[in-house]
């Protein structure tokens, strides 16, 4: 049934056309920016960079990112529980609170260890 | 519909281990540095409580949580093994951690978590549960391997363990996915009755075998072992070489004995792998100069011996595996604990030649080490001898004459490198002066316990062997 | 309806790519990413089978795999950070104090 795929085809054409059309239109209406100097900067938008991009970052960035990944992904178990909340009832609720309790203990441990302090 | 209380009894050891692990973790920031022994004591209490909880769950055999885990004699036997390993490792590591300035509560918490993971593995009756257990124990061990975090060798060991371990895990998991697709279930007990695509099932079981072969360090997937064992802190090496190995073997046995297709498919793989593993371990151990590395290769060789009993494919073989796992854990824990103590601050005294003159300077240490090495070699009156004897027996009963011959040849090869250490200890003059530190009490206790166990099993194996034979009957 | 074999072949290819990358790549982060690729190939297999069998449990397994992979990623990245700090290099060939 190829006819069922026509919406996808239309969507694909639109998706391809949108950037092409906008780029062409803007080509005609925007002012020339290459001479302004901002074009030559590493980041064209926002604040001008203060130092070399390959400088040292505080290791805190990595630690916070790693911690974020864990706590973020653990919430995945909340979704099936929320969808089946009525069917799981009290048992599900208690189990989920035990699970969240363990996560909170992990958080307390992190806090006491000073992993979240921004030195 | 709360889970019946019986289910909680059946999972009691893991619950106790996790609770104590969390308690240790929570206590760590609150206990002042000077009283750090308290954390160690709490962890020890937890491991002991887990053994008691195992006794409790023994009284409630059966499956729990919709058939995900199963308590039977087999799982109880191995629970006792991994629990005892945890107790001994915790006892033996305190002084090491103090000496290296690494004393943190997290170490003990991770040991407890790893043990909980092993507990899940040995009682798992379902493959995804087994995977979770495998990962709980592996992830904790990755961190433990990197515990000397300012020592590049320890970092590298953790990295190799982590990369190769997760590589193996993804093989295991892919196998689980294929088995699930072929049979529509991941419950081991239902796999035989499910009609499915046999090719897919075989492919999946093959992948699972590869994944677990990595974990037990059997050839040709053993390359990571020496590097990881050498770089990891020695108490961690003691743990890695005994606990997770026993758990991975248990999982292999469980799948092997429960799923008919697996026992059909794996027989040849196990035969070949057993032969290769024995030779890979023993031949490489011949040329090692570092004690830890030598013991790592020797643990590869022992994995090969255990696989010989596997290949026997009968209950005598399973009982032999169980007996050998206990004997092996005892002698490896003892040997690594001794190496930990002798290593001195910063683990510098690790070359075999550094042990020269030990026999006259530290006669007690030398005597203990000699006993463990004799047991690893398999001389009479030690647990290693009877363990090998049972394996030999099982192999011959199943007409695996060739494997039995290879086992005998390998024992002869291994005599060279075990005896060399003993010769160096007793007959060489020391080249460097090493300060002889007294053995701390906790370490001494571990040494005495493991040595006594090794001798006890070598003289009176009947009680354990009866238990092992009784545990070897796996319900299909 | 796309037949299930398409998904299986795709996931097998992804898994194979992961294995090949694991063996041939030299940067630790890239090696780590190839493991993630393998795990995601497994997830695809689980979901495909779950759909083909008309059971939901395969999709639940994926949740567990995702969480375990995240935990592994956290530990792995921490170990890689240690290596980067102590050795100033992430090339697997320069991190070889322990001879293979």
B6-36 residue pLDDT tens: 888 999 999 999 999 999 998 888 888 778 7
Q: Which chain B residues have a beta carbon less than 8 Å from that of C38?
A: 167, 170, 174
Is there a contact between B29 and A109 if contact means CB atoms under 8 Å apart?
yes
Whole-Å CA distances, B202 to B192, B261, B263, C21: 13, 7, 11, 25
Mutate to test the interface with B, among A84, A94, A109, A117 (most CBs of B within 10 A): A109
C83 closest CB neighbour out of B128, B159, B170: B159
Residue position matching structure tokens 């400088």: A55
Residues B331 and B376: beta-carbon distance below 8 Å: yes
Q: What's the confidence (pLDDT) of residue A74?
A: 86
Tell whether the model's pLDDT for residue B395 goes beyond 60.
yes
Query: Looking at the domain assignment, is residue A119 inside a domain?
Result: no
Res A48: pLDDT: 66
Which residues are bridge partners to B126 per DSSP?
A: B187
**What is the mean pLDDT of the segment spanning B125-137?**
94
- Joined tokens for residue B457: 């099993």
Q: In angstroms, rounded to a whole number, what is the distance separating the alpha carbons of residues B447 and B453?
A: 10
Region for residue A37 given its phi and psi (left: phi exceeds 0; alpha: psi -120 to 50; beta: otherwise)? left
Higher pLDDT, B110 or A57: B110
Per CATH, the number for C4-87 is: 1.10.287.3510
Residue B167 with chain C: CB contacts under 8 Å: 22, 35, 38
User: Rounded mean pLDDT of chain B?
Assistant: 91
Both tokens of C82, joined, read: 């240690």
On whether any CB of chain A is under 8 Å from the CB of B32, the answer is no
Which of A25-29, A46-50, A61-65, B326-330 has the lowest average pLDDT?
Answer: A46-50
Sole residue written with tokens 């056309």: A17
Question: C35: exposed, middle or buried (C-beta count within 10 Å: 0-12, 13-18, 19+)?
Answer: buried
pLDDT for A39: 61
Whether residue B6 contacts residue B29, with contact meaning beta carbons closer than 8 Å, is answered with no
| CA atoms of A68 and A71, how far apart (whole Å) | 5
Of C32, C58, C79, the CB nearest to B158: C79
Q: In the block, which residue shows the tokens 């099932």?
A: B201
pLDDT of C61 above 70: yes
Find the helix packing angle between B73-100 and B105-123, rounded to 10°: 160
Q: pLDDT at residue C91 above 70?
A: yes
pLDDT > 60? residue C99: no
The distance of A91 to chain B (nearest Cα, Å) reads 6
Residue B295: pLDDT over 80: yes
Q: Is the pLDDT of residue B99 over 60?
A: yes
B/e letters for B415-424, b = 16+ CB within 10 Å, e = fewer, are eebbeebbeb
Q: How far apart are CA B142 and CA B164, in angstroms?
A: 11
Distances in Å between the Cα of B28 and the Cα atoms of B43, B100, B109 are 11, 18, 9
Domain parsing of chain C, residue ranges: 4-87
pLDDT of residue C100 exceeding 80: no
Give the integer Cα–Cα distance in Å for B418 and B343.
18
Q: Is B70 helix (H, G, I), strand (E, B) or coil?
A: strand
User: How sure is the predictor about B71, in pLDDT bands with cuts at 50, 70 and 90?
Assistant: very high
Largest Cα–Cα separation, chain B: 71
Strands B69-71 and B62-64: antiparallel
Query: What are the structure tokens assigned to A1, written together?
Result: 């049934």
8 A C-beta contact, residue B254 and residue B247: no
The pLDDT of residue A112 is 87
A80 contacts on C by Cβ (under 8 Å): 60, 63
CA distances from C40 to C14, C24, C69 (A): 8, 19, 9
What is the predicted pLDDT for the residue at C84?
85
The fraction of chain B above a pLDDT of 70, given in percent, is 99
DSSP A39: G
Does residue B233 have a pLDDT over 80? yes
The encoded tokens of residue B444 equal: 């001494």
Q: Give residue-wise pLDDT tens across range B363-382.
A: 899 999 999 999 999 998 99
**Which residue, A59, A50, A53, is CA-closest to A119?**
A59
Q: Which residues of A touch B (CB under 8 A)?
A: 89-91, 94, 102, 105, 108-109, 112-113
Residues above pLDDT 70, as percent of chain A: 76
pLDDT exceeds 60 at position B155: yes
Closest alpha carbon to C73 in B82, A71, A90: A71
Radius of gyration of chain A (CA): 25
The percent helix, strand, coil of chain C (3-state, each to 5) is 80, 0, 20
Distance from CA of C100 to the nearest CA of A (A): 30
pLDDT of residue A40: 64
- Helix (H) or strand (E) holding B417, with range, is helix B401-427
Q: What is the pLDDT of residue B334?
A: 94
Which residues from chain C sit within 8 angstroms of residue A72, using beta carbons?
Answer: 70
- Chain A residues touching C57 at Cβ < 8 A: none
Residue A8, domain CATH: 1.20.58.1610
What phi and psi, each to the nearest 5 degrees, are found at residue B259?
-100, 120
Averaged pLDDT, B130-143: 95
The C-alpha atoms of residue B446 and residue B450 are separated, in whole angstroms, by 6
Determine the 3-state secondary structure of B187 from DSSP: strand
Residue A118 lies in a domain: no
Q: Is residue A40 part of a domain?
A: yes
Q: Do B25 and A102 touch (CB under 8 A)?
A: no
Binary contact (A109, B28; C-beta < 8 A): yes
Confidence band of B210 (pLDDT split at 50, 70, 90): very high
Q: Which domain holds residue A28?
A: 2-113
Nearest Cα to Cα of residue B250 among B171, B322, B303: B322
Work out the pLDDT band at B313, boundaries 50, 70, 90: confident
pLDDT score for B1: 59
Q: Alpha-carbon distance B366 to B384, whole Å?
A: 19
With respect to residue A81, please indicate whether it lies within any of the assigned structural domains.
yes
Least confident of B98-102, B202-206, B212-216: B98-102
Domain count, chain A: 1
Nearest-angstrom CA–CA distance, B128 and B176? 7
pLDDT digits (tens, 9 = 90+) for B405-437: 999 999 999 999 999 999 999 988 887 777 778
Identify whether A49 is part of a domain: yes
Helix ranges, B259-362 (H):
260-286, 291-311, 315-343, 358-361
* pLDDT tier, A47 (very low <50, low <70, confident <90, very high otherwise): low
Span B373-392, average pLDDT: 92
Q: How much of chain B is in helix, strand and coil states, percent to nearest 5? A: 80, 0, 20
The pLDDT score that the predictor gives to residue A1 is 65
* pLDDT given for residue B348 in this prediction: 85
Tell me C56's DSSP state. S
CA-based nearest residue in chain A for residue B22: A105
Which pLDDT band holds residue B443 (cuts at 50, 70, 90)?
very high
């Amino acid at each position: 049934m190829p006819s069922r795929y026509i919406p996808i085809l239309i969507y694909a054409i639109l998706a391809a056309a949108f950037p092409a059309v906008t780029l062409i239109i803007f080509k005609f209406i925007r002012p020339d920016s290459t001479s302004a100097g901002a074009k030559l900067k590493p980041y064209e938008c926002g604040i001008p960079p203060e130092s070399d991009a390959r400088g040292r970052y505080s290791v805190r960035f990595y630690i916070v990112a790693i911690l974020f990944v864990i706590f973020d992904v653990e919430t995945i178990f909340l979704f099936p529980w929320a969808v089946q909340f009525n069917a799981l009832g009290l048992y599900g609720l208690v189990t989920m609170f035990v699970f969240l309790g363990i996560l909170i203990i992990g958080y307390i441990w992190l806090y006491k260890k000073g992993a979240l302090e921004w030195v | 519909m709360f889970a019946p209380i019986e289910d909680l009894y059946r999972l009691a050891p893991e619950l106790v281990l996790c609770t104590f692990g969390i308690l240790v973790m929570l206590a760590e920031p609150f206990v002042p540095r000077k009283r750090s022994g308290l954390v160690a004591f709490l962890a020890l209490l937890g491991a002991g409580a887990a053994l008691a909880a195992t006794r409790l769950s023994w009284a409630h055999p059966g499956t729990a949580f919709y058939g995900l885990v199963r308590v039977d004699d087999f799982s109880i036997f191995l629970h006792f093994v991994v629990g005892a390993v945890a107790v001994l490792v915790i006892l033996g590591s305190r002084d090491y951690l103090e000496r290296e300035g690494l004393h943190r509560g997290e170490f003990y918490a991770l040991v407890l978590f790893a043990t909980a993971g092993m507990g899940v593995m040995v009682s798992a009756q379902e493959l995804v549960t087994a995977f979770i257990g495998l990962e709980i124990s592996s992830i904790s061990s990755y961190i433990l391997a990197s515990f000397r975090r300012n020592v590049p060798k320890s970092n590298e060991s953790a990295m190799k363990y982590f990369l190769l371990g997760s590589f193996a895990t993804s093989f295991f998991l892919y196998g689980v996915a294929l088995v699930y697709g072929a049979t529509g279930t991941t419950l081991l007990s239902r796999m035989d009755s499910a009609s499915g695509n046999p090719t897919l099932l075989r492919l999946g079981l093959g992948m699972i075998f590869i994944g677990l072969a990595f974990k037990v360090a059997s050839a040709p997937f053993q390359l990571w072992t020496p590097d990881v064992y050498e770089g990891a802190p020695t108490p961690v090496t003691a743990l890695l070489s005994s606990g997770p190995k026993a758990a991975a073997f248990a999982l292999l046995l469980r799948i092997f004995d429960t799923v008919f297709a697996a026992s059909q498919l794996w027989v040849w793989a196990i035969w070949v792998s057993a032969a290769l593993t024995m030779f890979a371990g023993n031949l490489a151990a011949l040329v090692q100069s570092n004690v830890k590395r030598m013991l790592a290769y020797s643990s590869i060789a022992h994995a090969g011996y255990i696989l010989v009993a596997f290949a026997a494919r009968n209950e005598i073989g399973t009982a032999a595996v169980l007996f050998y796992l206990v004997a092996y854990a005892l002698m490896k824990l003892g040997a690594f604990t001794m190496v930990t103590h002798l290593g001195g601050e910063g683990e510098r005294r690790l070359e075999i030649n550094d042990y020269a003159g030990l026999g006259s300077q530290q006669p007690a240490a030398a005597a203990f080490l000699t006993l463990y090495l004799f047991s690893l070699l398999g001389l009479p009156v030690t647990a290693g001898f009877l363990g090998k004897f049972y394996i030999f027996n099982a192999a011959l009963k199943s007409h695996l004459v060739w494997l039995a011959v290879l086992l005998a040849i390998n024992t002869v090869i291994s005599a060279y490198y075990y005896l060399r250490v003993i010769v160096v200890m007793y007959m060489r003059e020391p080249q460097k002066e090493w300060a002889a530190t007294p053995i701390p009490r906790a370490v001494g206790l571990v040494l005495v316990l493991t040595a006594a166990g090794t001798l006890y099993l070598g003289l009176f194996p009947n009680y354990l062997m009866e238990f092992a034979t009784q545990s070897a009957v796996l319900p299909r | 309806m796309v037949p299930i074999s398409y998904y299986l072949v795709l996931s097998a290819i992804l898994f194979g790519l992961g294995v090949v990358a694991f063996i041939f790549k030299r940067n630790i982060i890239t090696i780590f990413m190839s493991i993630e690729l393998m795990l995601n190939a497994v997830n695809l297999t689980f979901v495909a089978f779950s759909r083909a069998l008309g059971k939901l449990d395969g999709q639940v397994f994926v949740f567990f795999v995702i969480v375990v992979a995240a935990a592994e990623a956290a530990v792995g990245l921490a170990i890689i950070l240690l290596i980067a700090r102590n050795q100033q290099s992430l090339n697997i060939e320069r991190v070889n104090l322990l001879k293979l």
